Amino acid sequence: MESQSKRQQIHEENSLISSKTIYKGSLITVRNDKVKGLGDAIHDYDIIEHPGAVVMVPVDSNGYLHLVKQYRRASKKILLELPAGTLEKNEEPIYCAQRELQEEIGFKAKKITPLGGFYTAPGFCDEYLYLFLAEELEESSLDGDDSEMIDCVTLTLNEALNLIEEGEIVDAKTICGIYRYLRIKDTCK
């Protein structure tokens, strides 16, 4: 017997009435899909299309994590986050990761390990974030985007965990990345 979710997938893929681009910005595109539901219902989905991005857990030889602090217009707050950035057209995630490390924290990683990734908001947005562990850091600056004014912050893993659990780190990708690193450390003990 097919599962409900599988039936939903088959149904939706066969019942698309229209798919229209509503808005094309420099980063995101908004698409509206209309899908015939059960009976006479028509379901309306607004989907944000995003090029995808990378997020890195940079750990130096002393075990410090390197984070960035920046003002975010969307949240209207200064947030403490792992370094991250958007994929350029046809850019391999691992190259994007090295580029963003150099732009945001002024290091490149001699050792970089892919740790899978995740969708940030799959209810309405297709953004997929590739997660990397970045180790054996060496100084290497690239000029960042001049619209970014970023502070670098170094933390021990325990300090970072406390900041999550006290509600000072409130960015989902950063929480995912730091906990994943904790698990890797714990498993290696």
**Which residues are 46's β-sheet partners?**
32
Place of tokens 């997020």: 55
* Count of residues that bind a copy of itself according to CB under 8 A: 77
Q: Which stretch binds a copy of itself (CB under 8 A): 20-28, 56-64, 89-97, 102-110?
A: 20-28
Closest CA to 81 of 100, 107, 108: 100
Place of tokens 């054996």: 136
Residue positions counted in the chain:
189
Q: How far is the CB of 62 from a copy of itself (least distance, A)?
A: 23
Answer for the pair 152, 170: CB distance below 8 angstroms, yes or no: no
Structure tokens belonging to residue 160 = 């970072």
The footprint of a copy of itself on residues 117-136 (CB under 8 A) is 117-129
The footprint of a copy of itself on residues 44-63 (CB under 8 A) is 44-48, 50, 53
Residue 170 as a binder of a copy of itself (CB under 8 A): the answer is yes
- Residue 50 dihedral angles phi and psi, to the nearest 5°: -135, 145
Query: By C-beta, is 59 or 129 nearer to a copy of itself?
Result: 129
Residue 88 as a binder of a copy of itself (CB under 8 A): the answer is no
Q: Which stretch binds a copy of itself (CB under 8 A): 64-72, 87-95, 97-105, 132-140?
A: 64-72
Q: Which stretch binds a copy of itself (CB under 8 A): 88-96, 98-106, 135-143, 146-154?
A: 146-154
* Interface pick for a copy of itself out of 94, 112, 155, 161 (rule CB under 8 A): 161
Query: By C-beta, is 76 or 189 nearer to a copy of itself?
Result: 76
* First CA to last CA distance, the chain: 44
Query: By C-beta, is 25 or 63 nearer to a copy of itself?
Result: 25
Q: Which residues of 95-106 are buried (b: 16+ CB within 10 A; e: fewer)?
A: ebbbbbbbbbbe
